Structure 1
Amino acid sequence: MNALRSFWGRLKKHPLARIGPGLITGVADDDPSGIATYSQAGAQFGLNMLWTMPLAYPLMAAIQAMCGQIGRVTGKGLAANIKTAFPPVVLKAVVLLLLIANTLNIAADVAAMGEVAELVSGIDRHLMTAFFVGLTLLLQVFVPYHRYVFFLKWLTLSLFAYVAVLFTVHVPWGEVALRTVWPNLTFDSGTAAMVVGVLGTTISPYLFFWQASEEVEDMHARKGSALLHKPASAPAELRRIQWDTWSGMLFSNITAFFIILATAVTLHTAGITDINTAAQAAGALRPLAGNFAFILFALGILGVGLIGVPVLAGSAAYALAEAMGWKSGLERKPIKAQGFYGVIAVSLLAGLVIQYSPISPMKALFWSAVINGVVAVPLMVVIVLLASSKSVMGAFTSSRPIVILGWIGAAVMGLAAVLMFMPG
Structure 2
Amino acid sequence: MTIHHPNSEGPPTSAHDGAADTGANTGASVDSAHVGDIVGALGRIRRDDRDSRRTWRRKLRTLLVIMGPGLIVMVGDNDAGGVATYSDAGQNYGMKLVWTLALLIPVLYVNQEMVVRLGAVSGVGHARLIFQRFGRFWGAFSVGDLFLVNSLTIVTEFIGVALALNYFGVPQKVSVPLAAVLLFAVVAGGSFRRWERFLFGLIAVNIVMFPMALMAHPSAGESARGLVPQFAGGLDSTLLLLIVSIVGTTVAPWQLFFQQSNVVDKRITPRWMKYEKADLWIGIAVVMIGAVAIMATSAFVFKDTDLFGQFSDAGGVASGLKQHGSHALGALFAIVLLDASLVGANAVSLATAYTLGDTFGRRHSLHWKLSEAKLFYVGYAVLIGISATIMLSSDAHTQGLITQWVQALAGVLLPSATVFLVLLCNDKPVLGPWVNTLRQNIVAGAIVWSLVLLSLALTAATFFHSITATQYETGFAVGAGLGVVGGGVIAAVTRRGARKAELARAAAAFDGIDSEQVTAIDNTPLTRAERKALRDADRAEWRTPHLDSLERPVFSPLRKAGLLTLRAYLLIAVILVCYAVFHGGN
TM-score relative to the length of structure 2: 0.65
* Runs of 4+ residues deviating >4 angstroms: 13-18
- How far apart are 1:269 and its partner, in Å? 3.6
Is 1:159 aligned with 2:206? Answer: yes
Q: How many residue pairs get matched?
A: 400
Shift of the 126–342 alpha-carbon distance from structure 1 to 2, 3 Å rule, reads same
Q: Which residue of 1 aligns with 2:441?
A: 403
- C-alpha contact (below 8 Å) 1:118/1:125 kept by paired residues: yes
- C-alpha contact (below 8 Å) 2:191/2:366 kept by paired residues: yes
% identical equivalent positions: 25
- C-alpha contact (below 8 Å) 1:112/1:277 kept by paired residues: no
- How far apart are 1:91 and its partner, in Å? 1.0
Alignment of 1:104-115 (within 5 A): 104-115=152-163
- How far apart are 1:84 and its partner, in Å? 1.3
- How far apart are 1:349 and its partner, in Å? 0.5
Q: Which residue of 2 aligns with 1:250?
A: 285
* Richer in helix (by share): 1
Of 342, 345, 349, the match for 2:378: 342
Alignment of 1:3-402 (within 5 A): 12=42, 18-120=66-168, 122-183=169-230, 185=232, 186-219=234-267, 227=269, 234=270, 236-272=271-307, 273-358=309-394, 360-402=398-440
- How far apart are 1:291 and its partner, in Å? 1.8
Higher gyration radius (CA): 2
- How far apart are 1:60 and its partner, in Å? 1.2
Cα separation, 2, equivalents of 1:333 and 1:409: 40
- C-alpha contact (below 8 Å) 2:321/2:329 kept by paired residues: yes
Q: Which residue of 1 aligns with 2:584?
A: none
- How far apart are 1:101 and its partner, in Å? 1.2
- How far apart are 1:124 and its partner, in Å? 1.1
- C-alpha contact (below 8 Å) 2:156/2:399 kept by paired residues: yes
Cα separation, 1, equivalents of 2:352 and 2:312: 26
Question: Could you say what secondary structure the match of 2:194 adopts?
Answer: helix
Cα separation, 2, equivalents of 1:396 and 1:240: 16
Cα separation, 2, equivalents of 1:316 and 1:288: 40
- C-alpha contact (below 8 Å) 1:36/1:276 kept by paired residues: no
Letter in structure 2 aligned against 1:86: F
- How far apart are 1:302 and its partner, in Å? 1.4
- 1:17-57, CA deviations, whole angstroms, 9 ceiling, x for partnerless residues? 65131000000000011100110011111111111110011
Cα separation, 1, equivalents of 2:368 and 2:64: 24
- C-alpha contact (below 8 Å) 1:140/1:148 kept by paired residues: yes
Q: Which residue of 2 aligns with 1:5?
A: none
Cα separation, 2, equivalents of 1:123 and 1:402: 49
- How far apart are 1:274 and its partner, in Å? 2.6
Shift of the 145–269 alpha-carbon distance from structure 1 to 2, 3 Å rule, reads farther
| More contact order relative to length (CA 8 Å, sep ≥ 6) | 1
Cα separation, 1, equivalents of 2:204 and 2:228: 28
Cα separation, 2, equivalents of 1:404 and 1:157: 36
- How far apart are 1:63 and its partner, in Å? 0.1
Letter in structure 1 aligned against 2:350: G
Cα separation, 1, equivalents of 2:359 and 2:237: 38
- C-alpha contact (below 8 Å) 1:207/1:315 kept by paired residues: yes
- C-alpha contact (below 8 Å) 2:244/2:408 kept by paired residues: no
Cα separation, 2, equivalents of 1:61 and 1:215: 15
Question: Could you say what secondary structure the match of 2:392 adopts?
Answer: coil
Q: Which residue of 2 aligns with 1:8?
A: none
Shift of the 316–243 alpha-carbon distance from structure 1 to 2, 3 Å rule, reads same
Letter in structure 1 aligned against 2:403: L
Structure 1: segments with no counterpart, 5+ residues: 1-10, 228-233
- How far apart are 1:286 and its partner, in Å? 0.9
- How far apart are 1:402 and its partner, in Å? 3.6
Aligned CA RMSD, in angstroms, stands at 2.0
Cα separation, 1, equivalents of 2:392 and 2:316: 20
Q: Which residue of 2 aligns with 1:231?
A: none
- C-alpha contact (below 8 Å) 1:17/1:150 kept by paired residues: no
Cα separation, 2, equivalents of 1:275 and 1:400: 44
- 1:127-174, CA deviations, whole angstroms, 9 ceiling, x for partnerless residues? 101110111012112251221112212321222222221221222211
- How far apart are 1:357 and its partner, in Å? 2.7
Larger mean Cα displacement after TM superposition, 196-205 or 138-147: 138-147
Q: Which residue of 2 aligns with 1:414?
A: 452
Shift of the 178–84 alpha-carbon distance from structure 1 to 2, 3 Å rule, reads same
